[in-house]
Amino acid sequence: MTCVLDEKINKKLEKVFNELGFDSKYATVKNSDRPDLSDFQCNGALALAKIEKKNPRQIGEMIAAKLSEDADFAKVSVDGPGFLNITLKDETIAALMDEIAQDERFGCAKVATPKTIVMDYGGPNVAKEMHVGHLRSGVIGESMRRIEEFVGNKPISDVHFGDWGTPIGMILAEVIAHDGNLNKMESYDIAEITAFYKKANIRCKEDEKAKETARIITAKFQDGDAEYTKAWKHIRKVSVDAVKENYKELGVHFDLWLGESDAHKTCFEIKKIAEEKGLLEFDDGAYIIRLDEGNKPKPPVIIEKSDGGFTYQATDIATIKMRVDDLKADEIVYFVDKRQSLHFEQVFETVEKLGIAPNVKLLHIGFGTVNGADGKPFKTRDGGVMNLSDMIKMSKEKVAESMPKAGAESGFSQEELDRLISQVAVGAIKFQDLKNNIASGYIFELDDFANFEGKTGPYIQYAVARINSVMRKNAEIKPGKIVITNQEERNLALKIAQLSNVVMRCEAEKEPSIISDYVYNLAQAFSSFYNTSPIKGAENAQIAGSRAALAKLTRDILIKLLYLLGIEAPEVMPKA
Ligand code: ARG
């Protein structure tokens, strides 16, 4: 079942347009720009006037006269130059709410043709702690994964681990410089390996010879050197374990834990296909593919460097082939920093030239940077890179300040509180990340992101907990048939009626902020409703039951939407 209100109205309009002999493509409504005048508006009369060579108001009146006969409409009027304003009957809205309340999908539509969508997010690298950039990728990607699933697509998420390339050679070289050999390699944990990598980074910046050594080791390792491969396996394992811990805490799920290394074999195939198609050029020791000189010329793609190593680009091209061949992807979506836009443009164009992903939609959803108050990339207090674990810790400390202490007085055990603090802290970080347009960067609101008031995660979680408490207090009042008796109930119901459209738009635009905006507005609409429309103190039992039903429905939708954003909804939210 789908309960998409505007589609229902469109159908009615269409019928009237057909009866009048008007082109029904103009028979569409949108939410009214003037909610004080109407619920929906149709601007079709203006376009029709030109075709019919009539006054738009005259056309509007003709439509309005017929439409007014419909039992679902309380009022149809023509305003201004020819806008058609439509107001629904309260009974119609109430009946729709009953339908939505009965439906486990809350009347949300599904996509007409389900697609297999491979989703590439996370993208952490070996031996590096995850920073806020990896946070954004994981948070946005996970939310979109849940949304795709909800609308009926088949998402497959892949972490695309950065486990190949020069960093490996750099770490190995650094360990050899320190120990003389790789014998102790397997005793090193993630912190030690990260420290080696940091040192190697500094050394390679200053010293050309060290850089050359790392490069040679990388090439030998990629060529399958047994000792290097053994060491690499260890580095990869401890890195993946650390990353898994982080993502687990964040509630970010991956179906596949593949990495750049898994694409290595296919890179040879890519080179071969390029060669067969006459696209491969040998240039200055490297194998490259030139891209078309469009109006925005792009640099050529380097497939294989002069030392025989495949590039980041080659790996991504090969990975696309695997995702198409093995996973049967209809669509591949990358949630990666928008500073990598050129990389993806080059990769997608090369894939097109090679013909390895016919009819597959390739999409890069580029996101902006997380900044500090100074507008520069978000740093720790002492100016270092903000790691994900630091950020979670900081958020937890902040949330803990507004929670009560464990013990008899609060009625919470330390364990329960820790779990709550984690749910709220992670929710706060995620909501802050998802509340802005993805492409734009945002300033991390250190003082406000974990507030229980304002457009924050905790505010929405608190709204859910509050409805839970309302329902507990009114447990004897069973949710019943919905009736609309005042403006606040009406506003809340009309907000709920928008849900399906909101979710579908969010999926189409791959933009979770559409949901975060909506969930905030819905929580606010509930607040106004609750402040004016008592449940226990309602005029009669029917109205009380209706309000209980509206409260429950709102709560269930808020929980579902938080889930789609990747945020948990605690049953209770105690305050200090
Ligand atoms: N590991 C990369 C980085 O840290 C991100 C990977 C993004 N995904 C991809 N398929 N290129 O920059």
Q: Whose CA is nearest to atom 7 of ligand 1?
A: 123
352: which residues sit within 8 A by CB, 6+ positions away? none
Count the neighbouring beta carbons within 10 Å of the beta carbon of residue 79: 14
Q: 489-498, pLDDT tens digit by residue?
A: 999 999 999 9
Q: What's the mean pLDDT in 512-518?
A: 98
pLDDT at 134 over 90: no
Residues 323, 311: Cα–Cα separation, whole Å: 18
**Dihedral in degrees, nearest 10, Cα atoms 442, 445, 450, 456:** -50
Which of 502, 525, 497, 513 shows the shortest CA–CA distance to 565? 513
pLDDT single digits (tens) 279-324: 999 999 999 999 987 777 889 999 999 888 899 999 999 999 999 9
CA distance 404 to 88: 46
Whether the Cβ atoms of residue 459 and residue 451 lie closer than 8 Å to each other: yes
Cβ of 167 closer than 6 Å to ligand 1, yes or no, is no
Q: In angstroms, what is the span from residue 559 Cα to ligand 1's centroid?
A: 32
Measured from the Cα of 337, ligand 1's closest atom is 12
Within 13 Å of residue 20, how many CA atoms lie on the same side as its CB? 24
* Cα–ligand 1 centroid distance for 342 (angstroms): 13
Q: What's the average model confidence in pLDDT over 548-571?
A: 98
Ligand 1 contact, 262 CB (< 6 A): no
Average pLDDT over residues 398-422: 93
Q: Which token pair is 46?
A: 């203006």
CB atoms within 10 A of CB 8: 17
Three-state DSSP at 155 gives strand
Distance 203 CA to ligand 1 centre (A): 24
State residue 71's pLDDT score.
94
Q: Give residue for tokens 């080179």.
A: 271
Least confident of 214-223, 247-256, 460-469: 214-223
Tell me how crowded residue 486 is: count the other CB atoms within 10 A of its CB.
12
CA pair distance 156, 137, nearest whole angstrom: 15
Atom of ligand 1 nearest to the CA of 162: 1
User: For residue 260, how far is its CA from the centre of ligand 1 (angstroms)?
Assistant: 9
Tokens at 133, concatenated: 């950039």
Compute, in angstroms, the gap from residue 134 CA to the centroid of ligand 1: 9
Residue 365 has pLDDT above 70, yes or no: yes
Mean pLDDT of the region 394-414: 92
Asked whether 336 lines ligand 1 (CB < 6 A), one says yes
The answer to whether the CB of 165 is under 6 A from ligand 1 is: no
3.30.1360.70, 3.10.20.30, 3.90.230.10, 3.40.50.970: CATH of 5-88: 3.30.1360.70
125 lines ligand 1 (CB under 6 A): yes
Spell out the domain ranges in the chain. Answer: 5-88, 166-250, 420-564
The HSE-up count of residue 209 (CA atoms within 13 Å, CB side) is 1
Q: In the chain, what is the straight-line distance between the N-terminal and C-terminal CA atoms, in Å?
A: 43
Which of 319, 340, 348, 351 to probe ligand 1 with, by most ligand atoms within 8 A of CB? 340
Which of 118, 129, 160 has most ligand 1 atoms within 8 Å of its beta carbon, as the pocket-test mutant? 160
CATH architecture of 420-564: Orthogonal Bundle (1.10)
Residue 136's identity, in one-letter code, is: R
Residues in contact with 527: Cβ distance below 8 Å, sequence separation at least 6, in sequence order: 463
Q: Which atom of ligand 1 is nearest to the CA of 316?
A: 10
Return the half-sphere exposure (C-beta side, CA atoms, 13 A cut-off) of residue 156. 17
Residue 422: phi and psi, rounded to 5, are -65, -45
Q: Give the pLDDT score at 2.
A: 55
Nearest Cα residue to atom 8 of ligand 1: 123
The answer to whether 330 touches 116, Cβ cutoff 8 Å, is yes
Comparing 339-343, 377-381, 414-418, 530-534, the range with the smallest average pLDDT is 377-381
- The pLDDT score that the predictor gives to residue 165 is 84
Beta strands in 395-554 (DSSP E): 442-443
Rounded to an integer, what distance in angstroms lies between the CA atom of residue 86 and that of residue 41? 6
Lowest mean pLDDT among 126-135, 193-202, 367-376: 126-135
The finding on whether 316 has its CB within 6 A of some atom of ligand 1 is yes
158 CB within 6 A, ligand 1: no
pTM: 0.94
DSSP 124: -
CB of 123 sitting under 6 A from ligand 1: yes
Per-residue confidence band for 3, with pLDDT thresholds at 50, 70 and 90: low
Common-topology check for domains 5-88 and 420-564: no
